[in-house]
Amino acid sequence: MSSEFNEVPRVSSRWLERFLADPESRTYSRQVSGFLHSLVTPTRVADPQLLAFSADLALQLGFPECYCRSDAFLQCMAGNQLLAGSIPYATRYGGHQFGQWAGQLGDGRAINIGEVIDLNGQSQCLQLKGAGPTPYSRGADGRAVLRSSVREFLCSEAMHFLGVPTTRALSLVGTGDSVLRDMFYDGNPAEEPGAIVCRVAPSFTRFGHFQLCAMRGELQLLRDLIDFTIAVDFPELQACHQDRDSRYAHWFAEVCNRTRVMLLGWMRTGFVHGVLNTDNMSIIGQTIDYGPYGWLDNFDPQWTPNTTDAGMRRYSFGQQPAVVQWNLYQLANALLPVTGNREFMEAELTRFATLHERDWRDMMLAKAGLQPGAEQEDDAVLDGMMQLLAAQETDYTLFFRRLADFDHRRQELQLADIVSDAIYDQESYDDIQRQRINAWALVYAARLEQQGSDWAQRRARMNAINPCFVLRNYLTQQAAEQAAQGDLQLLCDLQLALQRPYEEVPALRSLYARRPDWARHRAGCSMLSCSS
Ligand code: AMP
Ligand code: MG
């Protein structure tokens, strides 16, 4: 390593400058009152190994590649050493889990290690997930297993390149220590390799941070947190609105807007978060906490990747808009004692649903390469398309990529042939099914003709919003299994593919295929437990 990178980056923390720490410095699980965080030191790990890092994010943070390959970086990302200036801390939050108030939760295994200013001048907070117990661990070990860390590392970066707001992941480090987990909750715990992901985001503040202050009646702390969040994470609002009531109102509206943009990104790409508890909702509208998430293979709005949710399907793909709105209601309830303005908030929450419905419709039209126009004609095309997707198991990702290949002026090319590799059950893909698709293609072609649609332009537009690569569940599962055996090849290949999700790279073609049959019901490939 060249000498110029012997110095580790210097970090600071605006959170620590603003808020007093819990005076109890010992790390034992407890309720913390009157403070938003506790100082805590990451617990040493035995034999850290850098399994992967995001070169793209490192570049944005101004970390030279050779630094990221150095032992100094590895030790800091493992929690064995501190970045210069780092005062590590874990924060306190609460949340509604599966619709029930769960009380104090907090960073039970995530430790903030400081902020750096990135190349765009944006402050970015670094956080180690799996770095050992904190006062918020609730008796658990503060660690994370390799399989869940591989999943979080890859998905954070995949979402970023898909253009969906998300926390990011700088590094994936194997700890060399093992962790005991009951993966299937069936009374058979086993040792698994441990790992740490360094997550990066402008803010890790969650709805649950505000909720816990409100629930405990800590109104001054709640006001301080609201004012801090607006000043630090929404500086444009701070500058525009001198009047406090107006500032609070515009802030809540902006949180709703950002959350709506994030939600639409999920619905466009077929992402299912899996645990949309209020503690897993970021106040800056980024996807956060990648646990038992999943991607739609066949289009099924009722699909949930989370085994704990299999009965209720509260967090299934199609429920996400309603649940996100419910979470915003909980946020509004928490803010109300400080911000007031109930009518305004209620109107915003109603507007959220109305705007999402409009967004969803416009987006589905755009996915099909159509511009919104005459309502009745648009509805006919969309309704028909949704019926096709529901009629037989059809891959959500492949269907839209193939639809872009359909040239409506070349009637000899039948849509049923063009989209055939998006169909799961090839044996039942018979003449009746094919005729149904070709019949819809006539309606679709007529609409394209009415809009004077040019095929090459439409194809380019569609392929810019319909990914060819999503992080299919079975791929991540295989990458995690192979990484546990010391084979990092698939992890590397997935890192390559996820950086260009809209562009077909011939060498990566096998990663674009629909889910293979063997993966349909295999644990980790179709559904996941929360054990991580
Ligand atoms: P999650 O389901 O990952 O959003 O976690 C819910 C809560 O449990 C959060 O407060 C986490 O910090 C905490 N938690 C989850 N796993 C662990 C663990 N292994 N050790 C300590 N806290 C944990
Ligand atoms: Mg969480």
The per-residue pLDDT for range 223-272, each reduced to its tens digit, is 999 999 999 999 999 999 999 999 999 999 999 999 999 999 999 999 99
Q: What average pLDDT does this structure show over 489-500?
A: 98
Residue 466 Cα to ligand 1 middle (Å): 33
In the predicted structure, residue 491 carries a pLDDT above the cut 80: yes
Q: Is 309 a catalytic residue?
A: no
Residue type, 152: E
Name the residue with the closest Cα to ligand 1, atom 18: 142
Residue 144 Cα to ligand 1 middle (Å): 9
Q: What average pLDDT does this structure show over 101-113?
A: 98
Alpha-carbon distances of 199 from 39, 130, 278, 527, rounded to whole Å: 18, 11, 19, 24
pTM of the model: 0.97
Instruction: Choose the residue to mutate in 97, 138, 280 for probing ligand 1, maximizing ligand atoms within 8 Å of C-beta.
Output: 138
Residue type, 381: V
Name the residue with the closest Cα to ligand 1, atom 6: 105
Assign 1 a pLDDT band (cuts: 50, 70, 90): very low
What's the pLDDT at 5? 55
- CA nearest to 33, candidates 215, 229, 226: 215
Q: How many CB atoms lie within 10 A of CB 516?
A: 12
d(CA 409, CA 394): 25
Instruction: State both tokens at 121.
Output: 């001048």
In the predicted structure, residue 151 carries a pLDDT above the cut 70: yes
Instruction: Choose the residue to mutate in 129, 136, 175, 206 for probing ligand 1, maximizing ligand atoms within 8 Å of C-beta.
Output: 136
Q: H-type helices in 270-319, by residue range? A: none
d(CA 306, CA 476): 15
Assign 527 a pLDDT band (cuts: 50, 70, 90): confident
Q: What average pLDDT does this structure show over 349-355?
A: 98
What's the pLDDT at 531? 87
In short, whether 280's Cβ falls inside 6 Å of ligand 1 is: yes
Assign 373 a pLDDT band (cuts: 50, 70, 90): confident
44-62 pLDDT tens trace:
999 999 999 999 999 999 9
In short, whether 143's Cβ falls inside 6 Å of ligand 1 is: yes
Assign 7 a pLDDT band (cuts: 50, 70, 90): low
Nearest atom in ligand 1 to the alpha carbon of residue 105 is 10
In short, whether 129's Cβ falls inside 6 Å of ligand 1 is: no
With contact defined as beta carbons under 8 Å apart, do 173 and 150 qualify?
no
Q: Which residues surround ligand 2, an ion (CB under 5 A)?
A: 280, 289
In short, whether 124's Cβ falls inside 6 Å of ligand 1 is: no
Task: Return phi, psi of residue 513, to 5°.
Answer: -70, 160
Residue type, 292: P
In the predicted structure, residue 383 carries a pLDDT above the cut 50: yes
Q: What percent of the chain has pLDDT over 90?
A: 93
In the predicted structure, residue 288 carries a pLDDT above the cut 60: yes
In short, whether 107's Cβ falls inside 6 Å of ligand 1 is: yes
Q: What average pLDDT does this structure show over 503-509?
A: 96
d(CA 270, CA 322): 16
Assign 6 a pLDDT band (cuts: 50, 70, 90): low
Q: What average pLDDT does this structure show over 180-207?
A: 94
Name the residue with the closest Cα to ligand 1, atom 20: 142
Assign 184 a pLDDT band (cuts: 50, 70, 90): confident
In short, whether 96's Cβ falls inside 6 Å of ligand 1 is: no
Q: What is the largest CA-CA distance in the chain?
A: 75
Nearest atom in ligand 1 to the alpha carbon of residue 134 is 21
Instruction: Give the chain's end-to-end CA distance (angstroms, integer).
Output: 35
Q: What percent of the chain has pLDDT over 70?
A: 98
Name the residue with the closest Cα to ligand 1, atom 11: 108
Q: Are strands 144-145 and 271-272 parallel, antiparallel or unpaired?
A: unpaired
In the predicted structure, residue 4 carries a pLDDT above the cut 80: no
d(CA 157, CA 161): 6
In the predicted structure, residue 358 carries a pLDDT above the cut 80: yes
Q: H-type helices in 368-424, by residue range? A: 375-391, 396-405, 415-418
Instruction: State both tokens at 153.
Output: 């590392």
In the predicted structure, residue 2 carries a pLDDT above the cut 50: no
292-306 pLDDT tens trace:
999 999 999 999 999
- CA nearest to 151, candidates 272, 265, 266, 292: 292
Residue 277 Cα to ligand 1 middle (Å): 12
With contact defined as beta carbons under 8 Å apart, do 287 and 322 qualify?
no
Q: What is the mean pLDDT of the chain?
A: 96
H or E element that contains 129: strand 123-129
In the predicted structure, residue 519 carries a pLDDT above the cut 70: yes
Instruction: State both tokens at 391.
Output: 């009629």
What's the pLDDT at 530? 86
Burial of 318 (0-12, 13-18, 19+ CB in 10 A): middle
Assign 3 a pLDDT band (cuts: 50, 70, 90): very low
In short, whether 149's Cβ falls inside 6 Å of ligand 1 is: no
Instruction: Choose the residue to mutate in 105, 146, 175, 181 for probing ligand 1, maximizing ligand atoms within 8 Å of C-beta.
Output: 105
- Residue that is written with structure tokens 């699980």 in the block: 29
Name the active-site residue from 107, 233, 279, 297: 279
- Residue that is written with structure tokens 């109300």 in the block: 336
